Amino acid sequence: MAGIISPSPTALYFSSNVGTRRLKVGSLAGKNGIRRRNLRIAAEVRFVNAEEAKQLIAAEGYSVVDVRDKTQFERAHIKSCRHIPLFIFNEDNDLGTIIKRTVHNNFSGLFFGLPFTKMNPEFLKAVRNEFSPDSKLLVVCQEGLRSAAAASKLEEAGYENIACVTSGLQSVKPGTFESVGSTELQNAGKAGLITVQGKISAVLGTVLVCALLFITFFPDQAEKLLPPS
């Protein structure tokens, strides 16, 4: 059973047994400059958790589109997914880009392992080459932001069966999806110095504890090794 949810100047939302959809109002240029209105039914993007996403793949035949950058994808990705990045490495060599890339690589790149990227101008074209507008697509990224942006682009391009994983793959528990890569899906976004900070802290902590125990139980030897200044 369908029912109107809320009107807006450009869209009329209604619910049905296939989910929430909206009737979009647009305008087209006609003869003599007179514009006429047209209506289009567009589906709302579905936001689901990891378990619901798994059911969409298994029971409803959704295909997984991974929109992360190449580095995160290679660390770990859902098996049999299609990799179509929303952002690609920015290798432009104009002065402004070089400056921005240098600053980025010495901060975000160094500490968090984030590549310097730009919007992929071929994103929609690449999706259209792989999937028809009536395809069921589960769009995923690491944190949920890029997938939401990609889903919005796809919805505007006429794709009506789009779903996203809320909070991205970082929220996925190990074993939820069959994955490929050197790490777990939820850890694929971790890189750079921040990944070794914990290990360094653990090593330093162990050294300090051992030193304290040595001084406590072997004070004479400690005094010889560490004479007072």
81 is catalytic: no
Q: How far apart are CA 4 and CA 123, in angstroms?
A: 34
**Residue 170 CB-density burial (10 A; 0-12 exposed, 13-18 middle, 19+ buried):** middle
Greater pLDDT, 103 or 6: 103
Ranges of H-type helices in 19-78? 50-60, 70-75
Whether residue 19 is predicted with pLDDT greater than 60 in this model: the reply is no
Mean pLDDT of 6-11: 46
| 119: nearest Cα among 92, 147, 99, 90 | 90
Beta bridge partners of 23: 12, 41
Mean pLDDT of 76-92: 94
Q: Are strands 87-89 and 117-119 parallel, antiparallel or unpaired?
A: antiparallel
* Catalytic position from the list 81, 141, 164, 210: 141
Contacts of 209 (CB under 8 A, 6+ apart): none
| Token digits of residue 95 | 């002065």
Count CB atoms within 10 A of the CB of residue 68: 26
| Token digits of residue 79 | 């098996």
Q: How far is CA 136 from the centre of its chain?
A: 18
Kindly indicate the confidence band of residue 85, based on its pLDDT and cuts at 50, 70 and 90. very high
**Quick check: 100 and 201 in contact, CB under 8 A?**
no
Q: How far is CA 116 from the centre of its chain?
A: 15
Q: Which of 1.10.1280.10, 3.40.250.10, 3.40.50.720, 3.40.50.2300 is the CATH number of 46-225?
A: 3.40.250.10
Mean pLDDT of 22-32: 52
pLDDT at 7: 44
Mean pLDDT of 24-43: 53
pLDDT at 225: 67
Global pTM reads: 0.67
Element (H, E) at 86: none
Whether residue 5 is predicted with pLDDT greater than 50 in this model: the reply is no
Residue pLDDT, tens place only, 123-156: 999 999 999 999 999 999 999 999 999 999 999 9
Hey, is 11 helix, strand or coil?
strand
Unique residue bearing structure tokens 């996203």? 164
Q: How far apart are CA 53 and CA 167, in angstroms?
A: 12
Domain map (residue ranges) of the chain: 46-225
Kindly indicate the confidence band of residue 8, based on its pLDDT and cuts at 50, 70 and 90. very low
- Average pLDDT over the chain reads 78
Greater pLDDT, 32 or 177: 177
Q: How far apart are CA 117 and CA 115, in angstroms?
A: 6
Which of these ranges, 25-39, 141-155, 161-175, has the smallest mean pLDDT? 25-39
Residue pLDDT, tens place only, 205-227: 555 556 655 666 667 776 766 66
